[in-house]
Structure 1
Amino acid sequence: MMKILEAVRDLYLPDGWICAGFVRSKIWDTLHDFRKRTPLPDVDVIYFDEVNVDENEEKKREEQLRSMLPLVPCSVKNQARMHVANGVPPYASSVDAISKFPETATALGVKLGADGRVILAAPCGLDDVLQGVVRPTPFFRESEARLAVYKERILKKDWATTWDKLDIWVDIEKDSTSFLTP
């Protein structure tokens, strides 16, 4: 993990973070007593640059990461432009974008500070990820359309097959705090 964190730090991305599954899966692997890390399809890297929202810049950054980490598939996205693709109001920062990820357990980011210490962003808190709870973020609970996206993701990801101790919210209503698990 440190090698990946160092490589992303060395890109000097404005408001750059590694987020989502990179953090969440490590925690879930630990909760499930896995000795070996679950393979990730990719490492999600985000940043926030309102000045240069050209998608080609993201591709350039992915290429730079690929040269540093040839065996690690990475996705690099500028959150200053992703609101358009996601059909939502503009994000204020990378952490604001993280807060609007579909699941609270995925709404996490890490980066290395200037002193080499790991910095964690958890705008929706840590309780859910540490307790193995998967539920929509407040942002996704505000809209039926976003809840539908959340539910589709839950089915597609099939996390319970890999991490069988998870408590996954599957039957949820807009603005609801109640849930049923499979």
Structure 2
Amino acid sequence: MDRASPDSSLHAIVAASPILSTILDRWASIDLPDCWLSGSAIAQTAWNSAFGLPPEHGLADIDLVYFDDADLSEEGEAQQAARIRDLFCDVPLWIDAKNEARVHLWYEPKFGYSITPYQSNEHAISTFPTTAGAVAIRPDTAASISIFAPFGLDDLLNCTVRPNKVQITQAIYEAKVARWRKCWPRLTIIDWHQF
């Protein structure tokens, strides 16, 4: 018997999630440049599927990332985020829309060190704190999704949390791991110094 490909496995997990599938079903109305559904919500939905938990278990928010280097204003990003939250007011989670083209403007005050401006959404996603969370999806056709996963899907589908040390600190990684360990105690968590 053939095993499903990682892409088709992720597609099936996403399709079974009432929250993620609702967002993808209304994708055309999001209307943001180079937009992706990304980050921890995808990983956590996959973990819930693997561990037999409800699809929304442990999800804190949904991240939509877009790339608009023509408008780096905080106000522009806030307006887009408010519009998206209105669009999905029936979704029971906070939905955040972030313009990855402007992350370098607020990163240092929040995290204590500066970063160079991202050149694209793919560049930004490649710096996400964990390999399992560095995944983004968006509809490709009515029946499929595009997947951007710079580290592949193995860690995501095998419930393995591994640091992506491109940009984050050990403290940022360990704070994420501490929360996730409480919600998903069966995760395989790779120690910061082990990788």
TM-score in terms of structure 1 length? 0.82
Following superposition, the deviation at residue 149 of structure 1 comes to 2.0
What letter corresponds to residue 92 of structure 1 in structure 2? Answer: Q
Residue correspondence of structure 1 range 1-182 to structure 2 within 5 A: 1-72=20-91, 73-86=94-107, 87-113=114-140, 115-116=141-142, 117-140=144-167, 146-155=169-178, 158-170=179-191, 172-173=192-193, 178=194
Following superposition, the deviation at residue 35 of structure 1 comes to 4.3
* Unaligned residue ranges in structure 2 (runs of 5+): 1-19, 108-113
SS in 2 for 1:46: strand
SS in 1 for 2:124: helix
Inter-partner Cα distance in structure 2 for 1:23 and 1:36: 10
Deviates more, 1:23-32 or 1:58-67: 58-67
Inter-partner Cα distance in structure 2 for 1:148 and 1:27: 25
Following superposition, the deviation at residue 85 of structure 1 comes to 2.4
Equivalent residues of 1:17, 1:110 under 8 A apart: yes
- Mark the CA change 1:83 to 1:6 in structure 2 (over 3 Å): closer, same or farther: farther
- Mark the CA change 1:52 to 1:67 in structure 2 (over 3 Å): closer, same or farther: same
Number of residue pairs matched by the alignment: 167
Deviations 1:59-107 (A, max 9, x none): 2122222222113321111000102323211112112111101111111
What letter corresponds to residue 60 of structure 1 in structure 2? Answer: Q
- Mark the CA change 1:39 to 1:7 in structure 2 (over 3 Å): closer, same or farther: farther
TM-score in terms of structure 2 length? 0.77
Inter-partner Cα distance in structure 2 for 1:30 and 1:151: 24
Counting aligned pairs with the same residue, the percent is: 30
The 4+ residue runs of structure 1 with deviation greater than 6 A are: none
Equivalent residues of 1:136, 1:150 under 8 A apart: yes
* Unaligned residue ranges in structure 1 (runs of 5+): none
Give the superposed CA RMSD: 1.9
- Mark the CA change 1:78 to 1:35 in structure 2 (over 3 Å): closer, same or farther: closer
SS in 1 for 2:26: helix
Following superposition, the deviation at residue 5 of structure 1 comes to 1.7
Deviations 1:110-163 (A, max 9, x none): 1112x33311111121111111111111414xxxx72232123323xx212221
What letter corresponds to residue 86 of structure 2 in structure 1? Answer: S
What letter corresponds to residue 42 of structure 1 in structure 2? Answer: D
